[in-house]
């Protein structure tokens, strides 16, 4: 897998959020032209993309904001976890509570609560920029 793409309404906010999560901004650029519209099936599309990289790993996250046409807001805007489609992206963290504390000023809100899975993991779902669902997992010793 090369990357996972997420459409966001505020690219600066999303970049700041994922940077705080520990990702690195690999690059940022506008995308437009007839080739771009042909790829996504939307004529006249103009977007800006920020590629975020997981340090020392192959995983990348492509954050996209649409300038034209404007992005469509799903109904309901804050879809529950059982909504069809991309469910969530999970990140491994060293300290789940510390990560939550750092992400809250960037708009992160717990979906449920931090839960312990056996003696293996602390887990939670949270909403990030634009209401996207992320999961965090802290492996216990």
DSSP state of 18: H
Task: With beta carbons less than 8 A apart as the criterion, state whether 121 and 131 touch.
Answer: no
Q: Which domains are assigned to the chain?
A: 4-68 (3.10.180.10), 89-139 (3.10.180.10)
Q: How far is CA 55 from CA 39, 44, 58, 61, 72, in A?
A: 28, 34, 8, 12, 31
The per-residue pLDDT for range 110-132, each reduced to its tens digit, is 999 999 999 999 999 999 888 88
Task: With beta carbons less than 8 A apart as the criterion, state whether 129 and 13 touch.
Answer: yes
Structure tokens at 15: 């970049």
Task: With beta carbons less than 8 A apart as the criterion, state whether 102 and 87 touch.
Answer: no
The per-residue pLDDT for range 20-78, each reduced to its tens digit, is 999 999 999 999 988 888 888 888 999 999 999 999 888 899 999 999 988 887 777 67
Helix (H, G, I), strand (E, B) or coil at 17: helix
Beta strands 46-53 and 89-92 are unpaired
Euclidean distance between CA atoms 26 and 6, whole angstroms: 16
pTM above 0.85, yes or no: yes
């Amino acid at each position: 897998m090369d990357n996972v793409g997420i459409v966001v309404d505020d690219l600066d906010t999303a970049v700041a959020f994922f940077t705080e999560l520990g990702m690195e901004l690999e690059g940022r650029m506008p995308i437009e032209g007839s080739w771009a519209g042909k790829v996504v099936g939307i004529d006249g599309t103009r977007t800006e993309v920020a590629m975020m990289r997981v340090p020392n790993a192959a995983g990348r996250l492509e954050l996209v904001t649409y300038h034209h046409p404007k992005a469509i807001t799903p109904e309901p805007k804050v879809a529950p976890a059982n909504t069809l489609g991309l469910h969530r992206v999970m990140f491994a963290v060293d300290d789940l509570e510390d990560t939550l504390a750092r992400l809250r000023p960037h708009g992160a809100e717990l979906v449920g609560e931090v839960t312990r899975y056996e003696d293996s993991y602390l887990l939670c779902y949270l909403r990030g920029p634009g209401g996207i669902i992320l999961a965090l997992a802290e492996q216990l010793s």
